[in-house]
Amino acid sequence: MQKSISQKGRRFHFDVLVIGSGIAGLNYILELVKLKPHCKIALFAKATLDYCNSNLAQGGIAAVTESYDSVEKHLKDTLKAGDGATNKKTAQKILAYGQCAITELISHNVQFDVETLAQEGGHSERRIYHAGDSTGREIIRNLVDK
pLDDT at position 8 over 80: no
pLDDT interval class at 6 (50, 70, 90): low
Q: Read off the pTM.
A: 0.84
Q: What is the largest CA-CA distance in the chain?
A: 60
pLDDT given at position 30 = 95
Which string of b and e fits 85-106 if b means at least 16 CB within 10 Å? eeeeeebbebbeebbeebeebe
pLDDT at position 115 over 90: no
